[in-house]
């Protein structure tokens, strides 16, 4: 027996290929949507990996520092260093803002780090780490900054001394690392007028009008003693939970392990986006099904006479149903190939990282085959209703 | 059964009736049809519009069920006030060939496979089926177009391919519905000539429904059908070769 489906497809290949390409672009979009989601998850994991931290110590009852604002005192790291199992600890700040380079503004997440402490970017693609405690920066390559360039963050200029890669915030903004002191200043910096009026107000307060007190108060007001979190590295031989638990208990702080942080990023922060993308996937699946159903139905209706003849000369219903279903699946296959190729071509052009996972492609493939089979049912029903007597006519 | 064993070959129809619908709206399309077509014989079936020709072909072709009567094919009683055979599809595939007014070839199969499809459907291997197809195409003078697609053939060639398809499973009966309607008189006569030759060669009983004045004189025997009743009469049986 020959394959009626294949013969029909070969005969009308133009129609098939064009429909398949249209479907393919749709499938490409679908795969890309999945890739956007995977990219977000992967970015989150890379962010955690490259943070160099085993534990995140943040303000009590917050999901900080990535998913919620958190504020802890900047001398906290000292007492944490003294806790059992802690190898290293350093304060860190995160602030999303515009960074100016020449005429260009880049939206970036400015990360304040302690040089040599946890939180230093894991590896550089060019240049060196920050060594001085002021006005040096390491930027993610996605910012477009070059080594040696001057970038402006708030009121100060920083020299780009190193470039790193795949360091983006959960919102997709590339990171710019600067020394912690500078970052603290940038984060809480008031403009000059505000500082002067604040000073005047403090000076006018009789409670501070004693020698030495006024100076100390003003000093405390114009510096910023807060950071967003403390990153902790643990000693070998300790589990994350072993180290985290005493900090939680004694310091009345929230401590997250690597696994918990991942859970927060993926389940809380990316959850809305993933629902959004899930919705897209559902719509795209329905649209693809509608297209396949419509095309296969139209092609089948165009063959009603032939189907009547086939039935009259003794073709089994099963053979006719298989012919239609194979064509639908064939359409899906063309679509999948076109979709996979186009997604692979355009994925790198997206501003955010798009991760095309083979597993998603496989799941997509199964879904497409399933959708095509479902979509062919309408046409099959119509074909099976054709009366072989129609071939004889009136 | 006695009749069937005495007349061991060809097709025999006795007292066939067909009523469409029920009650007030019922139409008695066939009231009394009696026919016998012997192997190797080509008979004409003619009658005015609405007389029941198509209805009769559909009954003979086992695509609609008669209301009453008896039909014998070869030694086998096909219908006796009810189908005597379970698999009507296999009956159509193996015992009855169809030729239509339009050739209704499958547009996406080449000429050979259009013909070979039937033995393939009956479970014969592709190679053997194609061999049989090519043999018939040769007999019908279209073997040189064996690799062409139906749309690339002339009307007469298409009709010959359709005849090859009707013959390929060696059915004892071929039902032809206006097979010459779209052809000019020369081609029409050529088709009739082929049908006669094939009928003799393969011992097939062929029933040709037609309005076509050009070919009516060629039949030796004609069944007139009028208002659902058949009347047999001798034809001119004019020599045309
Ligand atoms: N499916 C049907 N339901 C009800 N009545 C039908 C049906 N098919 C045919 N008829 C009626 O049966 C009668 C015979 O119809 P049939 O189609 O067999 O005629 P015909 O001889 O083939 O005519 P023509 O030469 O015009 O094709 C007509 O009166 C027709 O209206
Ligand atoms: Mg008719």
Lowest-confidence segment of A207-216, A344-353, B117-126, B207-216 by average pLDDT: A207-216
Q: Looking at the domain assignment, is residue A341 inside a domain? A: yes
Domains by residue range for chain B, with CATH = 5-234 (3.40.50.300)
Asked if the ipTM is above 0.90, the reply is no
Q: With contact defined as beta carbons under 8 Å apart, do B164 and B136 qualify?
A: yes
> Would the CB atoms of B149 and A316 count as touching at under 8 Å?
no
What gap in Å lies between CA A318 and CA A4, rounded to an integer?
12
Q: Is the pLDDT of residue B7 over 50?
A: no
From the list B94, B106, B177, the residue facing A306 with the nearest CB is: B106
Q: With contact defined as beta carbons under 8 Å apart, do B168 and B198 qualify?
A: no
Q: Is any Cβ of chain A less than 8 angstroms from the Cβ of B120?
A: yes
Q: Is the pLDDT of residue B30 over 80?
A: yes
Q: Looking at the domain assignment, is residue A305 inside a domain? A: yes
Return the ∠ at Cα A271 (arms to A265 and A274), rounded to 5°.
Answer: 120
**Mean pLDDT rounded to a whole number for chain A:** 87
Q: Looking at the domain assignment, is residue A38 inside a domain? A: yes
Q: In degrees rounded to 5, what are phi and psi of residue A209?
A: -80, 60
Q: Looking at the domain assignment, is residue A165 inside a domain? A: no
The pLDDT tens digits for A62-115 are 987 888 889 999 899 999 999 889 999 999 999 998 999 988 999 999 999 998
> Would the CB atoms of B61 and A312 count as touching at under 8 Å?
yes
Q: With contact defined as beta carbons under 8 Å apart, do B54 and A394 qualify?
A: yes
Q: Looking at the domain assignment, is residue A225 inside a domain? A: no
What separation in angstroms does the CA of B147 have from each of A265, B102, B103, B130, B166?
A: 64, 21, 17, 11, 19
From the list A10, A310, A389, the residue facing B63 with the nearest CB is: A389
Q: Which atom of ligand 1 is nearest to the CA of A394?
A: 17
Stretch B18-24: mean pLDDT: 91
Model pLDDT, residue A135: 92
Min Cα separation B201/chain A (Å):
22
Query: Total structural domains in chain A?
Result: 1
Q: Looking at the domain assignment, is residue A30 inside a domain? A: yes
Q: With contact defined as beta carbons under 8 Å apart, do B39 and B139 qualify?
A: no
Give the three-state DSSP class for A87: strand
pTM of the model: 0.75
Candidates B229, B92, B189; CA nearest to A309 is B92
Q: Could you say which ligand is closest to the alpha carbon of residue B56?
A: 1
Q: Looking at the domain assignment, is residue A121 inside a domain? A: no
Which domain does A299 fall in, by range?
2-44+272-391
Q: Looking at the domain assignment, is residue A80 inside a domain? A: no
Lowest-confidence segment of A155-164, A373-382, B183-192, B212-221 by average pLDDT: B183-192
Q: Is any Cβ of chain B less than 8 angstroms from the Cβ of A7?
A: yes
Q: Could you say which ligand is closest to the alpha carbon of residue B25?
A: 1
Q: Is the pLDDT of residue B180 over 60?
A: yes
B203 lines ligand 1 (CB under 6 A): no
Q: Is the pLDDT of residue A215 over 80?
A: no
What gap in Å lies between CA A202 and CA A316, rounded to an integer?
95
The pLDDT tens digits for A13-63 are 888 888 889 889 989 998 998 898 888 888 888 888 878 889 999 999 998
């Amino acid at each position: 027996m020959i394959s009626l489906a294949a013969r029909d497809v070969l005969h009308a290949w133009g129609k098939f290929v064009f429909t398949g390409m249209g479907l393919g672009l749709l499938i490409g979009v679908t795969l890309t949507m999945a890739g956007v989601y995977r990219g977000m998850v992967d970015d989150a994991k890379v962010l955690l990996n490259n943070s160099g931290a085993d534990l995140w110590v943040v303000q009590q009852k917050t999901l900080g520092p990535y998913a919620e604002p958190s504020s802890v005192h900047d001398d906290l790291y000292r007492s944490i260093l003294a806790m059992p199992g802690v190898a290293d600890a350093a304060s860190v700040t995160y602030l999303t803002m515009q960074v100016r380079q020449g005429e260009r503004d880049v939206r970036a997440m400015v990360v304040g780090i302690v040089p040599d402490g946890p939180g230093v970017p894991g590896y550089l693609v060019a240049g060196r780490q920050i060594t001085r405690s002021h006005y040096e920066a390491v930027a993610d390559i996605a910012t477009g900054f070059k080594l040696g360039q001057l970038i402006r963050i708030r009121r100060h200029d920083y020299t780009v001394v190193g470039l790193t890669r795949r360091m983006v915030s959960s919102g997709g903004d590339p990171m710019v690392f600067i020394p912690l002191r500078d970052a603290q200043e940038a984060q809480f910096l008031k403009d000059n007028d505000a500082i002067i009026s604040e000073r005047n107000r403090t000076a006018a307060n009789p409670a501070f009008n004693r020698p030495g007190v006024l100076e100390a108060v003003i000093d405390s007001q114009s510096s910023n003693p807060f950071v967003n979190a403390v990153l902790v590295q643990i000693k070998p031989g300790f589990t994350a939970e072993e180290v985290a638990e005493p900090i939680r208990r004694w310091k009345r702080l929230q401590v997250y392990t690597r696994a918990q942080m991942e859970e927060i990023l993926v389940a809380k922060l990316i959850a809305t986006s993933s629902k959004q993308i899930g919705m897209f996937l559902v719509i795209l699946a329905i649209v693809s099904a509608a297209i396949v159903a419509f095309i296969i139905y139209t092609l089948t209706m165009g063959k009603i006479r032939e189907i009547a003849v086939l039935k009259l000369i003794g073709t089994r219903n099963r053979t006719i149903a298989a012919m239609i279903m194979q064509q639908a699946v064939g359409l899906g296959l063309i679509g999948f190939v076109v979709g996979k190729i186009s997604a692979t071509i355009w994925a790198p052009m997206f501003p955010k990282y798009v991760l095309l996972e083979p597993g998603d492609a496989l799941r997509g493939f199964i879904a497409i085959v399933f959708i095509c089979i479902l979509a062919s049912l309408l046409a099959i029903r119509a074909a099976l209703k054709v009366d072989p007597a129609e071939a004889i006519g009136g | 059964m006695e009749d069937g064993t005495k007349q061991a070959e060809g097709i025999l129809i006795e007292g066939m009736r067909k009523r469409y619908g029920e009650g007030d709206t019922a139409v008695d399309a066939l009231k009394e049809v009696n026919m016998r077509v012997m192997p190797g014989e080509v008979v004409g079936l003619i009658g005015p519009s609405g007389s029941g020709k198509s209805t009769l072909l559909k009954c003979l072709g086992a695509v609609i069920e008669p209301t009453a009567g008896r039909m014998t094919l070869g030694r086998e009683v096909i219908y006796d006030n009810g189908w005597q055979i379970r698999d009507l599809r296999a009956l159509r595939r193996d015992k009855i060939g169809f030729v239509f007014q339009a050739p209704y070839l499958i547009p996406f199969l080449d000429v050979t496979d259009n013909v070979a499809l039937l033995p393939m459907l009956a479970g014969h291997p592709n190679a053997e089926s194609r061999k049989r197809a090519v043999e018939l195409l040769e007999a019908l003078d279209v073997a040189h177009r064996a690799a062409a697609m139906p749309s690339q053939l002339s009307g007469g060639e298409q009709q010959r391919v359709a005849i090859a398809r009707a013959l390929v499973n060696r059915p004892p009966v071929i039902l032809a519905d206006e097979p010459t309607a779209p052809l000019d008189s020369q081609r029409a006569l050529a088709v009739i000539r082929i049908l006669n030759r094939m009928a003799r060669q393969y011992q097939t009983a062929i029933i040709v429904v037609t309005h076509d004045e050009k070919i009516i004189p060629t039949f030796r025997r004609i069944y007139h059908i009028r208002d659902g009743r058949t009347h047999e009469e001798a034809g001119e049986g004019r020599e045309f070769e």
